[in-house]
Amino acid sequence: MSVVSHIAVKVPATTANLGPGFDCIGVALKLYNEFKFTTLDDQGLIIQVSGTEAEKVQTDESNLLYQAFVKLYQYIEQTPPSVKIEIKLGVPLARGLGSSATAIVGGLVAANELAGSPVSELQIMELAIALEGHPDNVVPALLGGCRLAATSRTGWEICDIPWHRHIVPVLAIPDFELSTSEARRVLPTEVSRADAIFNTAHLGLLLRGLATNREEWLKAALQDKLHQPYRQTLIPGYDAVNAAAMAAGAYGMVISGAGPTLLALAEADQAKLIATEMANAWQKQGITSIVRSLPLDTQGASIL
C-alpha cells in the first residue's frame, strides 16, 4: 500500500426524506464542502475553516470531521497521524442539507486515503451510517445520486433510484438554523397503522414518480404523515412558502432533511418562477432566504 501525506476531498450536500422517505432516502446535490488533510511531523491538530459561518465550526478534537477521521484509524487499529485540516465551507450549517454528513464522509474518506486505502467503500459507508445514526444523508454524500437504504439480515442494501432529468430540486434556505436534535424531539414515538400504510404507499408512488416525471403521481407522492406535520411547526412561514411554491407550479414542497430548508420539486421550465415566489413568500414573513435550483450530483465524495 502506498501512503500519501496530504489529501483533499470534496463532498456534496444532500437533501433527505423527500416527504414520505423518512430516514431512508436521500439525494446528493451540486453544492459542496471541501476538506484538505496534511500530515504533520509533530504531535498536534490544526483546523482552519473558511467560508460562510466558519466561526461556528469547532477547531479542536470535538470537530465532527476530525472525529470521523480518527474513527477510521480506530477501525483499522492504527494510531491516527497528527494533521492540519483545512475546511472550505459551501454547505450551510444546521439547515437540513447534510452538513454533518459531509463531515463524516469527508473524514472517513480522507483517513482511508492517507492510510493507503485499507478499507472498502462498503465499509466506509457502514462506518458513516453508524456515526450519523441513519443512512439517508451519508449514503448519497458518499455515492452520489438518489439512494434508498434498507437494512438486510447481513447489513445494508443500497438501491440507486432513477431520477427523471426534467425534475429539478428548488431549495429555499432560510437565514435561521434548526438543529436535527430539536427536529427529532417533536416526533411521536409511535405512529398509527393507518399512517404507516399511508407512508408505505406514498414512498412507492414517489419512486415511480421520480423515474417517470408523472405529475399526478409526484403531487400525491410528496405527502407524508411520519415527520412533516410535526416539524412544520418549527419552521416560521412554512404554510406561506408552500402555498407560493404550489401556486407557481411546483409538484409539491417538503422539508429538506430535518429543516428548516424547504425543497420544491418542479419541471425545469417552472423552477425559476418557483424559486422567486418561495423567496418572496418568506420575505413577506420577515425572513431572508437564498433560493436556488441545484442539479443532482452523481459522483458523491471525490478526491481532488
pLDDT per residue, tens digit, the chain (304 aa), is 344 589 999 999 999 999 999 999 999 999 999 999 999 988 789 999 999 899 999 999 999 999 999 999 999 999 999 999 999 999 999 999 999 999 999 999 999 999 999 999 999 999 999 999 999 999 999 999 999 999 999 999 999 999 999 999 999 999 998 888 889 999 999 999 999 999 999 999 999 999 999 999 999 999 999 999 999 999 999 999 999 999 999 999 999 999 999 999 999 999 999 999 999 999 999 999 999 999 999 999 999 9
Q: What is the pLDDT of residue 44?
A: 86
Contact 96, 57 (CB under 8 A): no
Q: Thinking of the domain 167-293, which architecture would CATH place it in?
A: 2-Layer Sandwich (3.30)
Is 3.30.230.10 the CATH classification of the domain at 6-161+297-303?
yes
Residue 246's pLDDT is what?
97
Q: Is the peptide bond before 118 cis (omega within 30 degrees of 0)?
A: no
Residues of the chain with CATH 3.30.230.10: 6-161+297-303
CB atoms within 10 A of CB 231: 23
Cα(96)–Cα(147) distance, integer angstroms: 17
pLDDT at position 4 is: 59
Instruction: Look at residue 1 in the predicted model and tell me its pLDDT.
Output: 37
pLDDT given for residue 5 in this prediction? 87
| CB distance 234 to 260 below 8 Å | yes
Burial 48-67 (b: 16+ CB within 10 A, else e): ebeeeeeeebebeeebbbbe
**3-state DSSP: the chain helix, strand, coil percent, rounded to 5?**
40, 25, 35
Which residues in the chain are classed under CATH 3.30.70.890?
A: 167-293
pTM for the whole structure = 0.94
